[in-house]
Amino acid sequence: MRPSDQTTKRPTWIACPKPRPQARIRLFCFPYSGAGASIFYPWLDRFPEAIEVCPIQLPGRESRLAEPLFTQMKPLVRAAAQALLPYLDKPFAFFGHSLGALVSFELARYLRREHGLVPVHLFVSGHNAPQLPDRDPPIHALPEPEFLEKLRRLNGTPEEVLQHAELRALLLPILRADFQVAETYVYEPDEPLDCPISAFGGIQDEHLSREGLEAWREQTKADFSLHMLPGDHFYLNTHRRLLLPTIARKLISL
């Protein structure tokens, strides 16, 4: 049985509550730090039938809460590649936001290097180009009071969650692990990818720059486009009506 026929037997890495086995392209979506696949569920009905949205569920959250969290990029990428390989039997694209942008980029390079596979398009969002140094000091090992203050400044975690002891105890280890993945990441130069790259960012995002997004151009031999949308770092949740049609247009035109 081909992977595309196994619509009820997806691996735990792929949370796809509305499979489209006849779709022409699979769009794998990688979440930001602390988040799970559910952040992409509002996307499921917003794409043409030719595109199957496949949210990625990283270990240690939501339906995979009991599994160990990854704290380093390379083991995470290797494990993701092994899980996704059976589902790369048709054209595929990656979308990643913030940490997800780094993960999807490194996964694309790993698949090219180890398996000769390249996505038809790489969509990176909310993260400066990987070759640029990260000027923010690491926060993943800060004591809890300082860590909570940094989270409040990032504006991505609801205050009611931070104030709730049980929810906080559940979420903080996930966030610390995800931040550790990003903050210990070391960029290694390699040949640019052969697929187009589209970079997205929120105009009010204080954690990246237009120049930092523009630098993603260096990572592709193909077309590059930059899209600045209204909103802050989490614009993809508040302005998806602007983001999703742009992604759909680029994929349908392939």
Residues with catalytic annotation?
98
For residues 43 and 17, is the Cβ–Cβ distance under 8 A? no
| Dist. CA 72–CA 118, nearest whole Å | 23
Q: What does the buried/exposed string (b/e) look like for 228-248 if buried means 16 or more CB atoms within 10 Å of the residue's CB? A: ebebbbbbbbeebeebbeebb
For residues 95 and 29, is the Cβ–Cβ distance under 8 A? yes
User: Angle formed by the axes of helices 99-115 and 165-183, to 10°?
Assistant: 50
Q: What are the Cα distances from residue 209, in Å, to 189, 196, 206, 236, 246?
A: 21, 21, 8, 16, 20
For residues 87 and 16, is the Cβ–Cβ distance under 8 A? no
Q: Which distant-in-sequence residues (6+ apart) come within 8 Å of 131 by Cβ?
A: 187, 189, 215, 218, 219
Residue located via tokens 């960029």: 187
Residue located via tokens 């009991």: 66
